[in-house]
Amino acid sequence: MSADTFTILIIDDEKNIRRTLTMVLESDGYDILEAGSAKEARVVLDKSTPDAILLDLKLPDVKDLSLLEQIKTDHPRVPVVMISGHGTMTDAVDAVKRGAFDFLEKPLERERVLVTLRNALEARQLRKKVAALAGGGEIIGNSPQMAEVRDWIERVAPTDGKVLVLGESGTGKELVAKAVHEGSQRVSKPFVKVNCAAIPKELVESVLFGHVKGAFTGALKDKVGTFRQANGGTLFLDEIADMGLEAQAKVLRVLQEGEFEAVGSTKTEKVNVRVIAATHRDLESEIAEGRFREDLYYRLAVLVLKLPPLRERTGDVSVLADHFLAEFHQTGLPKRELATLARSAVERYDWPGNVRELRNVMERVAILARGESIEPADLPTEIASGSNPRLQASTGTSGGEIPAIGTPLSDVRAEAERRYLEAVLEATGGNVSEAARRIGLERTHLHKKLAALGLK
Ligand SMILES: Nc1ncnc2c1ncn2[C@@H]1O[C@H](COP(=O)(O)OP(=O)(O)OP(=O)(O)O)[C@@H](O)[C@H]1O
Ligand SMILES: [Mg+2]
């Protein structure tokens, strides 16, 4: 099965019409389902959702446009093209008003059928995209790095190439994986996500490839694996580096040969799946330490995208914060806006948890802030204080102890500076020029300061 095989349901009581349409559409590469009555159509639609429907305007077992209406209710995204006979033009127009995509007049012309159907399928893709955007799937950010990411997705999505998304936790790897799927020919087929880190080692194979009843204790009935569920579509293997070596070997085989066996089965299955993998780990060191198969890495790393951490695109922070606040407002939380001081604190913070952390903080603030305008006091202290959490973590000075009252301010300041500069020098391996650059001081000035503080 190829990725862009669309399934079309033909509903018409005239056998000849069904046969002609089937021939025309099959020769153009479509898969066909047929129904000779409304009743049959309902049976088919209970079991499967076609990509488009060709529907006869006059069926013997249904009144007016009630089948069309039912389809529009049960499968709102599936485009319906009406087939109308002579003298039923006004009815056909009426059908379009009630949600049919278009209509075809008998006698049916091959070219017209194909063009109309193609238009209907395109409209469907667009509708899906719009729905995805409305669902919060938009990639926000005006930094050059994010412009590059969007451009990359646009170029890569329509191909069938395997994709590897790298980047720290919370940088948007899953969002990108979905965008690649949404921008591909496979958009109308499933997007299936597997979190490899969340599956117990002994179950990985069963989850990926399925199992047959009795394959192991607890396998009470046959189970379809995610590779099959994603057939025709995209399989997102999240946290791929957390998968055991044994499962890695099996995944490698599917990628090489497109085939696998369910656990406990001898039947070889074939699927057509585009794989997108992601990890926050450094795959090169995982390979060096023998935890990740190098051959699998080369298989997966066809199209590689490394998402930049948020602290390297500080220009996006404000835009993202506003976006999330608006989003939370839409879902029913009060309207809130960052006041100037809070905004600069948010921009200064270095967001070790990246966009996910920013989103969580905005949610918390949207719930807890005291007024419409968000002040620094509404923010978590580590963000409001403008301190650098990583520096604190590495030096253990959380600024908790206050010197004895009566200590001259100059001493307090000197002590704070001394401790800070010690930490900076430690971080730069004693390199004074580098230390000066990092804290925004002239090198000669820093030398003097170090001497004055007795650090040299
Ligand atoms: N550029 C962006 N625009 C809008 N929302 C974003 C962006 N990047 C990330 N997000 C949002 O941030 C959250 C985290 O993103 P996502 O789950 O894609 O990250 P991840 O890289 O998969 O993280 P992890 O490694 O922790 O699984 C999600 O709610 C996502 O919608
Ligand atoms: Mg993720």
pLDDT along the chain (456 residues), means of 10: 75 95 95 95 90 93 88 83 84 86 91 94 73 63 94 93 96 96 90 91 91 89 93 95 92 92 94 96 95 96 96 95 91 90 94 95 90 93 68 42 72 81 86 87 87 77
Pocket test for ligand 1, best of 319, 356, 362 (most atoms within 8 A of CB): 356
Question: What DSSP string describes 410-428?
Answer: HHHHHHHHHHHHHHHHHHT
Q: Compute the distance between CA of residue 300 and CA of residue 372 in angstroms, rounded to an integer.
A: 47
Please tell me the distance from the alpha carbon of residue 284 to that of residue 297, in angstroms, as a whole number. 9
Distance, CA of 354 to chain centre: 16
**CB within 8 A of 367, min separation 6: which ones?**
333
Ligand 1 contacts CB of residue 359 (under 6 A): yes
pLDDT for 319 equals: 96
User: At which residue do the structure tokens 């862009």 appear?
Assistant: 4
How far does the centroid of ligand 2 lie from the alpha carbon of residue 193, in Å?
10
Per-residue model confidence (pLDDT) at position 219:
86
Any idea what DSSP says for residue 263?
Answer: B
Task: Please give the model's pTM, rounded to 2 decimal places.
Answer: 0.62
Residues in contact with 89: Cβ distance below 8 Å, sequence separation at least 6, in sequence order: 105
Q: Which ligand approaches the C-alpha of residue 352 most closely?
A: 1
The predicted-structure confidence for 145-199, as pLDDT tens digits, reads as follows 999 999 999 999 999 999 999 999 999 999 999 999 999 989 888 999 999 988 8
Going by DSSP bridges, is the β-strand pair 163-166/303-306 parallel, antiparallel, or unpaired? parallel
Ligand 1: atom nearest CA of 167 is: 21
> Is there a contact between 177 and 288 (Cβ–Cβ < 8 Å)?
no
Cis bond upstream, residue 144 (ω within 30): no
360 vs 354: CA distance, rounded Å:
10
Which residues have CB under 8 Å from 93's CB, separation 6+? 103
Treating both helix axes as pointing N-terminal to C-terminal, what angle do 432-439 and 443-452 enclose, rounded to 10 degrees? Answer: 100
Yes or no: say if 212 and 226 are a contact pair by the CB < 8 Å rule: no
Q: What does the pLDDT look like over 296-338, one tens digit per residue?
A: 999 999 999 999 999 999 999 999 999 999 988 887 888 999 9
Residue with tokens 């950010």: 141
Atom of ligand 1 nearest to the CA of 307: 21
Q: How far is CA 213 from the centre of its chain?
A: 33
Rounded to the nearest 5°, which phi and psi values hold at 150? -65, -40
Nearest to 305 by CA among 191, 196, 193, 171: 171
- ∠ CA 283-288-290, nearest 5°, is 95
Substitution site in 164, 168, 174, 310 for ligand 1 pocket (most atoms within 8 Å of beta carbon): 174
- Quote the CA–CA distance of 162 and 278 in Å, as a whole number: 11
Q: Is 11 in a helix, a strand, or coil? A: strand
